[in-house]
Amino acid sequence: MGKDFKSMVTRCIYVGKENDNVRKLKIAAEELKDLRNNVMKRVKMYEDQQKLKRLEKVQVWLRQADVAIKEAEEMLITMMSSSSSNGSSMMSCHKMDKKLCKKLKEVQEIKSRGTFDVVVENSGIGGSMMSSTVDKDDQTVGLEAVSGLVWRCMTVDNTGIIGLYGVEGVGKTTVLTQVNNRLLQHKSNGFDFVIWVFVSKNLNLEKIQDTIREKIGFLDRSWTSKTEEEKAGKIFDILSKRRFALFLDDVWEKVDLVKAGVPPPDGQNRSKIVFTTCSDEVCREMGAQTKIKMEKLPWERAWDLFKKNAGEETVKSHPDITKVAQEVAAKCDGLPLALVTIGRAMASKKTPQEWRDALYILSNSPPNFSAQSKQEALELKENTMDQRFSHLIFSYRSSTYQPRKPGEQAKRALSVEKVPARKPVVKERDINERAEAFIQKFRKQLRLQRF
């Protein structure tokens, strides 16, 4: 009786240990499955959206996690079925307990290796590729030489920071996009990360950090709770071990990249930083080793670009249109953005009067594009396009005025823009509709197109 009692107690102990290990294995397997799903979600996001390639070590871990989860689930099912049977011997319980312990350690070990700062790398054929709504031929008119120069700077080791500057609309973003895309299309570009960041006027270092960490595949859940300094440390830890190309578009003032966690390019890491700005002063503040000034298009190329977008057939449809079209193109001041935008807007204008209307509009308060100091560049950036098309907004200026007599609003609108009422540029009855159409057409295209 005492022997049987001792055997029963021993069996109860084994069963208790077994049940405890079953519970632990079930929890560990569920945690590993959640971790596996999160890692896979990160990988798929970058593969689908940015065409990046998962790291080999991540792929190996995912395979190991899948196998471990499957085996753990099968073992748990076996345990459930065996526990329903009362005929299990103490020896079989002991063997099962050993298997449980072994599988539990395996699952826990795989789970401990499932924290990845980076899950993807540049595949050479994808990445954070920027695209433009402007046709390829439009993008490259007059910009081939500058694009080639920037590309050469990307391939030499003695230039780490490259500044691309010039007035708004001259084609800086287009060149930056071309170099970025060309780099990504080269399978053996030599860069582990190709990163594009749109900076803009209101500099926000944390937003820059957030963009960089997304591009390098760092999606730790604790990121949002980290301080700016902690985020910088994480970014630095990753980028300091890799070769990267960082493209910063639309820089208005000095960006403290060291504070953001970006290691300075040097001959050893051979990384590159390329940025665009309106200001030569920003180039100096950013420590650009190579500064490239972008000039406006010469007349011949400007006229070709304008005709391409307005349409050769339209421009040549009437002798008067051809003459006025040249004057309209000249008002674009050699700027690709203006040439493309206005050219396309005029493509549907088939009468000389419509072209003369447009010429009058563009001749009214033309902007000054010669500013180069930082302050002037900031003012230019904010006002250039509004000034160029400010004459299209005359109907808005009078929108709060409620006329008492038919035609009074049109006359008021004309007087605001100092248009002689006796010789209206457009007919009085539809001046507001036509002005509104111009505004919507220009502004829609400006939103879609950035140079």
The pLDDT, as a whole number, for residue 253 is 92
Which one-letter amino acid corresponds to residue 311?
G
The answer to whether 110 and 61 have CB atoms below 8 angstroms apart is yes
- Looking at 40-49, 90-99, 111-120, 209-218, which range is the least confident one? 90-99
Q: Does the pLDDT of residue 56 top 70, yes or no?
A: yes
pLDDT range class, residue 333, cuts 50, 70, 90: confident
Which one-letter amino acid corresponds to residue 448?
L
The pLDDT, as a whole number, for residue 50 is 58
Domain ranges in the chain are 2-121, 136-293, 299-448
| φ and ψ of 22, to 5 deg | -60, -45
Residues 311-331 have pLDDT tens digits of: 988 888 888 999 999 999 998
| CA–CA separation, 231 and 198 (whole Å) | 19
| Residue 200: Cβ within 10 Å count | 13
Average pLDDT over residues 204-215: 87
Instruction: Give the DSSP per-residue string, 91-113.
Output: HHHHHHHHHHHHHHHHHHHHHHT
Average pLDDT over residues 209-237: 84
Residues 356-404 have pLDDT tens digits of: 888 888 777 444 433 333 334 334 444 444 444 443 333 333 333 344 4
The pLDDT, as a whole number, for residue 165 is 92
Residues 169-198 have pLDDT tens digits of: 888 888 898 888 888 877 667 888 889 988
* Homologous superfamily, domain 136-293: P-loop containing nucleotide triphosphate hydrolases (3.40.50.300)
Residues 408-443 have pLDDT tens digits of: 444 444 443 334 443 444 444 445 555 555 555 555
Average pLDDT over residues 163-170: 88
Residues 434-446 have pLDDT tens digits of: 555 555 555 555 4
Q: Return the structure tokens found at 165.
A: 């500057």
Q: Does the pLDDT of residue 283 top 90, yes or no?
A: yes
| SS3 assignment, position 225 | helix
Q: Where are the alpha helices (DSSP H) in 168-311?
A: 172-185, 205-215, 228-239, 257-260, 280-285, 299-310
pLDDT range class, residue 281, cuts 50, 70, 90: very high
Global pTM value: 0.54
Average pLDDT over residues 193-204: 87
Q: What is the mean pLDDT of the chain?
A: 73
